[in-house]
């Protein structure tokens, strides 16, 4: 990572600023010595680090499915040397539900079975769907592939090959977003719906490209497609996809004024997540991808949330900003509360709405979200009106009470 304000050199795990005592060694080699005892991990070493001496892990990020299995399995390497024997491992988890971790491991315990056969024709279906959008043509695909395959090509050649397609798609999204904002300001519901639908189609196109890359990367190891057009699209999509940051332009966040005013740590005890044979669910095969769409009921709830949140927050905020903040960030943090889950099970929605714990946990969630969403969190902290509005939205279209009851019953 480059940060010229913090230093002239790029920051990585091997940089002198972060790990000055490595002295040119690979971090894996250094960690194998007595000099280093603790390793802070984000993603790079989360699932691909093989170190038999590892015996403990502190987890403070969301884990699920195969990622949970791969991450926690870093501890299962045996180590037995003269005077040193690894006979105990432990995990201290600050974030995840033990039941969900057990569910993830149960799928792969003893053996993993598929419910049905994976269909190799998924790749062809996705190619047809992506081609039919008209967002690119065969010439543009070939132009990018030729640059990638030419050992003498430079970065500027790749930029020039991709720029027309990427610019066209980004411009279409930006124009649709502008029309959507104008229509919302003029309260023209039809125009807003049409512009929003165009934005959703572009997002769906981007998602389908990602699905194509994942499916082809997996299935091409098993099936010989013998089709250069498929391989060309893999090369083309792989270079184009990272450029399509629809509506996600952000300025840097200055954290210099953020002070730690809230810290919440609860001991939830030691959990036994013992596995039992024969209980794991079968793995689902790849049968159909790229069929994404927004369901009408969900669309209506999201529209209601956006409409009600618009009256709470001020400033240069997009509908996506507001929706993610309320329906993902704040609601997601509230769903982690065992106290609220228990109250949702044992009380009516009206009783739950008047719970003082709900107000306290809402304030906790706002504080926790402050660093990542400073503008809206700051307004929520300074205004009881905003906090009251958030509570009403979460209990209404946000379906917080219902989600807590479902989570507690799972």
| pLDDT (tens digit per residue) in 72-81 | 888 877 777 7
Highest mean predicted confidence (pLDDT) among 33-47, 122-136, 302-316, 374-388: 122-136
Residue 152 is predicted with a pLDDT of: 83
Q: What are phi and psi of 235, to 5 degrees?
A: -65, -45
Lowest-confidence range among 45-49, 200-204, 231-235?
45-49
* Token duo for residue 208: 């389908």
Distance CA 151, CA 154 (A): 8
Residue 410 is predicted with a pLDDT of: 63
Q: Give 127: exposed, middle or buried? Use CB within 10 Å, 0-12, 13-18, 19+.
A: buried
Pairing of strands 80-81, 56-59: unpaired
Pairing of strands 84-85, 80-81: antiparallel
Q: What is the average pLDDT across 185-199?
A: 88
pTM of the model: 0.44
More confidently predicted of 198 and 263? 198
**Element (DSSP H or E) covering residue 57:** strand 56-59
Distance CA 74, CA 230 (A): 36
Distance CA 238, CA 356 (A): 50
Q: With beta carbons less than 8 A apart as the criterion, state whether 326 and 365 touch.
A: no
Q: What is the pLDDT of residues 5-30, one digit of tens each?
A: 666 666 666 666 677 777 777 777 77
**Element (DSSP H or E) covering residue 210:** helix 189-219
Average pLDDT of the chain, as a whole number? 76
Residue 347 is predicted with a pLDDT of: 83
pLDDT value at 140 more than 90? yes
Distance CA 388, CA 315 (A): 19
Residue 253 is predicted with a pLDDT of: 32
More confidently predicted of 157 and 287? 157
Location of structure tokens 């029309």: 179
Over pLDDT 90: what percentage of the chain?
Answer: 6
pLDDT value at 194 more than 70? yes
Q: With beta carbons less than 8 A apart as the criterion, state whether 76 and 247 touch.
A: no
Q: What is the average pLDDT across 283-290?
A: 60
């Amino acid at each position: 990572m480059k940060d010229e304000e913090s230093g002239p050199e790029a920051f990585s795990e091997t940089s002198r600023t972060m790990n000055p005592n490595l002295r040119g060694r690979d971090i894996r080699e250094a960690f194998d010595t007595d000099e280093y005892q603790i390793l802070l991990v984000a993603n790079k070493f989360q699932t691909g680090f093989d170190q038999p001496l590892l015996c403990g892990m502190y987890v403070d990020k969301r884990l699920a499915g195969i990622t949970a299995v791969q991450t926690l399995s870093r501890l299962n390497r045996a180590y037995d040397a003269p005077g040193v024997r690894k006979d105990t491992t432990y995990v201290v988890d600050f974030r995840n539900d033990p039941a969900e971790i057990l569910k993830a491991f149960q799928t792969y315990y003893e053996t993993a079975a598929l419910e049905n056969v994976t269909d190799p024709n998924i790749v062809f279906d996705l190619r047809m769907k992506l081609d039919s959008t008209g967002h690119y043509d065969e010439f543009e695909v070939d132009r990018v592939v030729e640059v990638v395959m030419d050992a003498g090509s430079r970065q500027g050649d790749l930029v020039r090959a991709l720029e027309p397609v990427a610019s066209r798609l980004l411009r279409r999204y930006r124009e649709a977003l502008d029309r959507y904002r104008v229509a919302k300001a003029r309260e023209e519901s039809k125009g807003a719906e049409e512009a929003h639908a165009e934005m959703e189609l572009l997002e769906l196109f981007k998602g389908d490209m990602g699905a194509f890359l994942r499916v082809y990367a997996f299935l091409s190891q098993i099936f010989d497609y013998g089709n250069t057009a498929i391989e060309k699209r893999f090369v083309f999509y792989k270079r184009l996809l990272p450029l399509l940051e629809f509506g996600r332009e952000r300025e840097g966040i200055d954290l210099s004024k953020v002070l730690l005013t809230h810290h919440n740590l609860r001991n939830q005890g030691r959990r036994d997540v013992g596995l039992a044979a024969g209980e794991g669910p079968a793995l689902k095969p790849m049968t159909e991808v790229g069929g994404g769409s927004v369901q009408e009921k969900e669309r209506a709830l999201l529209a209601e949330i956006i409409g009600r949140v618009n009256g709470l927050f001020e400033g240069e905020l997009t509908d996506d900003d507001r929706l993610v903040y309320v329906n993902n960030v704040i609601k997601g943090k509230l769903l982690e509360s065992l106290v609220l889950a228990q109250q949702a099970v044992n009380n009516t929605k009206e009783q739950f709405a008047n719970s003082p714990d709900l107000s306290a946990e809402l304030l906790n969630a706002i504080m926790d979200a402050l660093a990542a969403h400073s503008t809206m969190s700051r307004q929520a902290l300074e205004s009881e009106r905003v906090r009251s509005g958030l509570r009403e939205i979460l209990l209404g279209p946000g379906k917080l009470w219902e989600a807590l009851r479902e989570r507690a019953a799972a």
